[in-house]
Amino acid sequence: MKDPTAELDPEPESPPPEEESGKMSFLEHLDELRRRLIRIILYVLLGFAACFYFSDKIYNFLSVPLTQSLPPGGKLVVLKVTDAFSLYVKVAILAGIFLTAPLSLYEVWKFISPGLYRKEKRFVVPFLISSVILFVTGGAFAYYLVLPRAYKFLLQIAEQFQPMITVNDYLDLTDTIILGFGLIFEMPVLVAFLSMFGLVTARFLWSKFKYAILVIFILAGVLSPTPDAITQCVYAGPMIVLYLISIAVAALFGRRRRARGLD
């Protein structure tokens, strides 16, 4: 027999699968964040311990772009007794962060994934893999192409002087340039993220292409150690390719948004 109160007091419908997520209180979120941060710190400490043993070899690798341009017998210098030790500690920390980045990103993913829909989770792994590949590519571009040319040019200008370049100054500048190019090469990932939410479209990027070319060549001129056009084109070329890839990525996500009726 049908229950007459069923229509008056219907059972609440369960949320659709896409909207099901691990709902936690604010304090539970803080506790989860604390646990993930502790794990990330432990990963970095383990990476630091492993890399400190090889810190001299890692630094020798990082110093190649400059040392190959120094005069015969030229070496980097230290100004304090503790400079060499602090240098190796800094190298080990940076290498440890880089080495354990995949594990740290995994912890970030485990923290944010309960709040994402299934269709959003599909993009996380491609985003992470693309980010790592593009960052490493940008860093390699800086290490193998930008830094050797830049240091060679700068040392040629100072040819009449005795170079006394400290190890810490060199490491800071080298890391900044490598990090900067790594972030520049993240352009397609940033555009993909913005396109996914409809904040940027391929039409908009294409309409600003000539302005983008101008900005890219200005940036290449600033970063280039020599004023000749060939070197500037070498620097600008990858950035133009990245911009075109960004347009293609924006077009792909724009097509998907239109297919879902979001635009």
pLDDT digits (tens, 9 = 90+) for 1-51: 455 544 444 554 444 444 444 566 778 778 888 999 999 999 999 999 999
Q: Which residues pair with 77 in a beta bridge?
A: 166
Tokens of 58: 């890692």
pLDDT per residue of the chain (263 residues) written in tens, 0 to 9: 455 544 444 554 444 444 444 566 778 778 888 999 999 999 999 999 999 999 999 999 999 998 888 877 778 888 888 989 999 999 999 999 888 888 888 888 888 777 767 776 777 788 888 888 988 998 999 899 888 888 888 888 877 888 888 898 899 888 888 888 888 888 888 888 888 777 888 888 999 899 999 988 888 877 776 666 777 787 888 889 999 999 998 888 878 777 766 65
pLDDT at 17: 47
Q: 66-83 b/e with 16+ CB inside 10 Å = b? A: beebbeeeeebeeeeeee
pLDDT at 226: 66
Query: DSSP 3-state assignment of 166?
Result: strand
pLDDT at 51: 93
Q: Which residues pair with 166 in a beta bridge?
A: 77
pLDDT at 69: 83
- Whole-number Cα distances in Å, 131 to 183, 184, 186, 246: 9, 11, 6, 13
| Rounded-to-integer distance, Cα 242 and Cα 251, Å | 14
| Rounded-to-integer distance, Cα 250 and Cα 242, Å | 12
pLDDT at 186: 87
Identity of residue 216? I
Q: What is the pTM for the complete model shown?
A: 0.75
Q: Which helix (H) or strand (E) holds 40?
A: helix 26-52
Q: 124-136 b/e with 16+ CB inside 10 Å = b? A: eeebbebbeebbe
- Whole-number Cα distances in Å, 188 to 128, 184, 241: 12, 9, 10
| Rounded-to-integer distance, Cα 130 and Cα 108, Å | 16
